[in-house]
Structure 1
Amino acid sequence: MTEQLVTPDGRYIVVRGRLWRRSDPSLLSDRHQALVDDLMTARRAVGRALRSDHAALSEARAGVDAAKVALGERGPVWWADGAPDLTRRMARNTGYAEWYANAVLAS
């Protein structure tokens, strides 16, 4: 597995050129791990629901969403400087464009 490309301010990782918000770094390690465990449990529930119990699908997806909000990956941003959330935007179309171009060239 390759190392994740993280923006200089630590807010996003870049996956196939797209920005994805990182977990809130102020979360304590134990709390972060508990939330990741919840997220993985919810994702497994989504998989089970897709295979057999479509009625449980919305509940399982709500569990994924709740864990991602608690981690700071969705919902209100965890930074306080007023910068907008650029999640899902292509890095080359944001203020990270120059940094991203240099990072891609360096790899």
Structure 2
Amino acid sequence: MSVDDERWLVVNGRRWRRTDPELAEETVRALTSHLGRGRSGVRAAKSAGDDDAVALARRRVGLAKHGLGERGDPWWEMTLEDRRRRAEDALAELDALDDAAD
């Protein structure tokens, strides 16, 4: 696998940044769960015409993608410690959103 193959996924000619491969499996699983809930929330909020809920759901998606390394500073340009901290911080913020909703 080339370096580009490790960093990028190409779907229908569009290049997407891959998830940071050094993140713990449980962290990736938790962030991916938040990502899925965020995407689902965006669809539901758009259908309901609720702009505030759309914004909150998009925030969840953005936080999850940052935590996974798919947005923000490229993970391959960061130290492993910084990458893990970014993921943990995103997960903590996402969990806080859940706590606030309860």
For normalisation by structure 1, the TM-score amounts to: 0.65
- Post-superposition CA distance 1:47-105 (Å, at most 9, x none): 11001123311111111011000000000110038xxxxxxxxxxxxxxxxxxxxxxxx
Q: SS of the counterpart of 2:77?
A: coil
Q: Which residue in the other structure is 2:65 paired with? A: 68
Q: Which residue in the other structure is 1:22 paired with? A: 18
Residues 1-107 of structure 1 aligned to structure 2 (within 5 Å): 8-9=2-3, 10-52=6-48, 53-80=50-77
Q: SS of the counterpart of 2:71?
A: coil
The alignment yields a C-alpha RMSD, in angstroms, of 1.5
Structure 1 CA distance for aligned equivalents of residues 55 and 77 of structure 2:
32
Higher helix share: 2
Flag as ranges the 4+ runs of structure 1 deviating above 2 A. Answer: none
Report the AA paired with residue 52 of structure 2.
Answer: A
Identity of aligned residues (%): 41
Q: SS of the counterpart of 1:26?
A: coil
Q: Which residue in the other structure is 2:92 paired with? A: none
Shift of residue 35, structure 1, vs aligned partner: 0.4
